[in-house]
Amino acid sequence: MASRLRRLVWIVLLSLLGLAAWLGFQARQPGPGTGREVTVRLERGAGVQRIAEVLSQHGLIRSKLAFMLLARLPGSGQGLRAGEYQLRDDMSLPAILRLLRSGRVVQHRFTVPEGSSLRQVAARLAAFNWLDEGRFLALCRDTSLLAGLGIEGDSAEGYLYPDTYLLIRDGDDEVSILRRMSSRSHEVWQQVSAAAAGGSLDRRQVLTLASMVEKETGHGPERPLVAGVFLNRLQRGMRLQSDPTVIYGLEDFDGRLTRNQLNTPSPYNTYTLPALPAGPICSPGRAALEAVLSPARTDALYFVSKNNGTHYFSRDLHEHNQAVRRYQRTEDRGQKTEKGDG
């Protein structure tokens, strides 16, 4: 009886030693590949067995059993964390486990260009395979959510700051992205408004005017001049007559503005409105905000495109009409001959 028990103990000990030796050998081995980078996504709640299956399916480990045993060793530290990871198929099992325990997940760079509208941001995120476009747009018009974010009005238009964001799969959803972009907008507003000399416009008015400046010119040095023209016209009670505001209010735009469209009232048509449009028409960048807060000192009341990315600025209607005849052709603008008719 005692002899049989001793044999059993020896068998168990030898088996454990053999398993330990095998496991040690597996731990020292590189992965089955040659250094190919592989992105894997570990779902929340996935157990060690499921993670081993995912890694095996991607050709990252030689043995699922060895991975599971190493992951469950006593004193092995914190558990494996969900997320998206960048691995190489020649990584050892301990190296893979260290990465999966670290939580150093893949960060995706997503850029919102200056002058983007809500619809454009939503479309880019959807094309990025990140979220549902319709749900994101609905959240951008959820007044209770917007109020909690400190956004005035019934839309987040103009409040999603154009910048490059690092997004994490399963960590950044529609709400968190909206929060991050609006928070960045508030942060930049605090910076630029503190540096400005002050003024009579509130934040929403500045955002609205800056969004118009952003759409009117992509030529940096002109932004303060364009802002100066708009402010001069506001002070004189003149209509702003900005083409981009009309375009924003149209459901469909084929690239040509017609006289009828210019004369059709809408909450954004500054050819018919006596003041600013209902709100921002895009996401203005820092330079456009600074241009409105610190506009150029100018007597100009008009400007017209020179068709080379810059504009010609005029102090009176006569000079402006001459510039229109010089730089624009009626047939190229769908019957629209001038920006601003006084």
SS3 letters across the chain: CHHHHHHHHHHHHHHHHHHHHHHHHHHHCCCCCCCCEEEEEECCCCCHHHHHHHHHHCCCCCCHHHHHHHHCCCCCCCCCCCEEEEEECCCCHHHHHHHHHHCCCCCEEEECCCCCCHHHHHHHHHHCCCCCHHHHHHHCCCHHHHHHCCCCCCCCCCCCCCCEEEECCCCCCHHHHHHHHHHHHHHHHHHHHHHCCCCCCCHHHHHHHHHHHHHHCCCHHHHHHHHHHHHHHHHCCCCCCCHHHHHHHCCCCCCCCCHHHHHCCCCCCCCCCCCCCCCCCCCCCHHHHHHHHCCCCCCCCEEEECCCCCEEEECCHHHHHHHHHHHCCHHHHCCCCCCCCC
pTM of the full structure:
0.82
23 has a pLDDT exceeding 70: no
Give yes or no for residue 149 having a pLDDT over 60. yes
Q: Is 13 a residue whose pLDDT tops 50?
A: yes
Task: Kindly tell me if the per-residue pLDDT of 341 is higher than 50.
Answer: no
Q: What is the mean pLDDT of residues 43-54?
A: 89
**211: pLDDT strictly greater than 70:** yes
pLDDT above 90 (res 309): no
265-287 pLDDT, tens per residue? 999 999 999 989 999 999 999 99
Residue-level pLDDT at 11: 61
Domains belonging to the chain, first-starting first, are 25-102 (3.30.1490.480), 108-191 (no CATH), 200-333 (no CATH)
Where residue 337 falls among pLDDT bands split at 50, 70, 90?
Answer: very low
